[in-house]
Chain A
């Protein structure tokens, strides 16, 4: 019965493109290689986390109740932790799924053929983005649950509801982060004719933000740093300036947001004065408060994603579609 219905159903063209794009991703070697890299590194970081988890639990640790979350954050220094891996490999994943989205269609001369079908032009762009996003989401949720399951089997302590929710939010955040890089690379794929150029530009932006931008901010802030004798307000102002400069980086936004979510004892992402800290009892924040704390970071990430998307939309919608 179900099969019959499927055979007779008329799919919306958007769904048709979406299905095609998803199956393209899943069949491609590129995706298989990426998933292998990411699965391996995750298992590696899981292994180091599991072998070191006994040392990580200290008495009087405010995060002692969030034992399970440590699986994602600890490392012994030989291999980075799970979140560091994700923040490092996520951009690579996003860039590699999007860098040839539009220009490969153009180079294979399929673009004008597809766009001469009765579909809106943005279907193609939206479907490309959504397909990659769906693939990434499925993959990240699978990985997250894999890590959780393995941890559960090995350490034998089930996560609490709050821990579980924190992990879910962490996964959603990671997807958002990869979505930014995905959109950036789709933008490059609209702009540049050669897939190699667009892949390189994506990687260049990624390297710039992960290596050079921090150095540049350091250089700038060093030259304007207030003296040790400066007033408290000046120092706070300076620290805040430094942070806001760093927060232009999507990586910074992501790492701030993830640490807050996975380390519930983090209670502020900016400088705190002694007066503010005075009298506080070290203790974890409830989930709601942690979410509230990372809200600006999440908004920033979404805004950057939307900006990239809007730019590619703008340049793609009114462009002339030549057959080559």
Chain B
């Protein structure tokens, strides 16, 4: 496929008997911001290392910009900027010197390197701290310096491994905005790994869900929720007063749990009704809010509360990672 800048086919990595990455298939299109979302130890970093040729896959193949990183890592590394998790710099050198080193490793002459480094330091807002030793930088500054470091080689793709780890909320916000701006302005493809779904949700066009070495699902947030909750993409929450309806059967004083499910099951599109505390959760295959409201009102009971709930990444996340067992 022409539009794919990163392609992983049946990628597998085993450490002894432990499988870190299991038969991974993934394609990332040019120019998008892709989020790799998964808990710690899901194999995100291992996958990234394989894309860079920093570790060899046990089987399967990775293709980055059409090049195999295992056999030709130099060409791949020329095109990819990689910001490792918890990036480190030579602490006894200044930020400027550190970036100069990277620039010269990428075969820039001293003049070109100087221009590029100054421009990037400006861009990530570190011009004032350029002459400071990186040992004295704060975590957020280091992370921004890391981003500048990644951009020196004019990469086609940048891979950020847990870039928001350990930065304060304002720092995270600025950092994410910086990433979005860069990606839009320079047409960069960004691969972003994180275990924090809010960060991913803020910046990513598409998301891949990673659990114990397997890619469970991928797509944008809407398709993801459709994909993951195939039967019931909608949940409608209803609260009814326990007053018995003077309904057809005339059975007064009954608990709502006894009659409400039967009533609602008749509606086309309702799959299941659960009672959770005092709220009923109704799983539907389509939006039936008005029908449900109408049915309840017509039955004579009081409708206290009705809410249509849409799945956010939150629900997807918790459903998969916290309650992962039930989906296996």
Q: Which residues does A use to contact B, with CB under 8 Å? A: 6-11, 13, 16-17, 20, 27, 108-110, 112-120, 318, 320-324
A116-B52, A119-B77, A323-B87 known, 5 other contacts, Cβ within 8 Å = A8-B110, A17-B105, A113-B87, A115-B54, A117-B77
Complexed CA–CA distance, A6 and B114 (Å): 13
Task: Name the distance in Å between B153's Cβ and chain A's nearest Cβ.
Answer: 7
Q: Which residues does B use to contact A, with CB under 8 Å? A: 45, 49, 52, 54-56, 74-75, 77-78, 80-82, 84-92, 101-102, 104-111, 146, 149, 153, 161
Task: Name the distance in Å between A322's Cβ and chain B's nearest Cβ.
Answer: 7
Closest CB pairs A-B (n = 9)? A109-B88, A323-B84, A320-B55, A116-B82, A118-B78, A117-B105, A321-B54, A112-B84, A118-B77
Measured CB to CB, the nearest residue on chain A to B83 is A113
User: Contact: A318 with B56, CB < 8 Å?
Assistant: yes
Main secondary structure of the interface of A (DSSP, over half): loop
Task: Name the distance in Å between A174's Cβ and chain B's nearest Cβ.
Answer: 30
Measured CB to CB, the nearest residue on chain A to B49 is A320
Contacts of B110 in A (CB 8 A): 6-9
B109 contact from A9, A108, A119, Cβ within 8 A: A9
Complexed CA–CA distance, A41 and B245 (Å): 104
- Counting chain A CB atoms within 10 Å of each CB, the highest count among B52, B81, B82, B84 belongs to B84
* Total of A-B residue pairs, C-beta within 8 Å: 90
**Can you list 9 A-B contacts (CB < 8 A)?**
A7-B109, A13-B104, A16-B104, A112-B82, A116-B82, A118-B107, A119-B105, A321-B55, A323-B86
User: Contact: A112 with B54, CB < 8 Å?
Assistant: yes
User: Contact: B90 with A108, CB < 8 Å?
Assistant: yes
Contacts of A110 in B (CB 8 A): 88-90
Contacts of A13 in B (CB 8 A): 104-107
A7 and B111 contact, Cβ closer than 8 Å, known pairs A109-B88, A112-B84: yes
Contacts of A6 in B (CB 8 A): 110
User: Contact: A10 with B109, CB < 8 Å?
Assistant: yes
User: Contact: B54 with A116, CB < 8 Å?
Assistant: yes
Contacts of B104 in A (CB 8 A): 11, 13, 16
User: Contact: B45 with A323, CB < 8 Å?
Assistant: yes
Measured CB to CB, the nearest residue on chain A to B82 is A116
User: Contact: A8 with B109, CB < 8 Å?
Assistant: yes
User: Contact: B111 with A8, CB < 8 Å?
Assistant: yes
A322 and B88 contact, Cβ closer than 8 Å, known pairs A8-B109, A119-B74: no
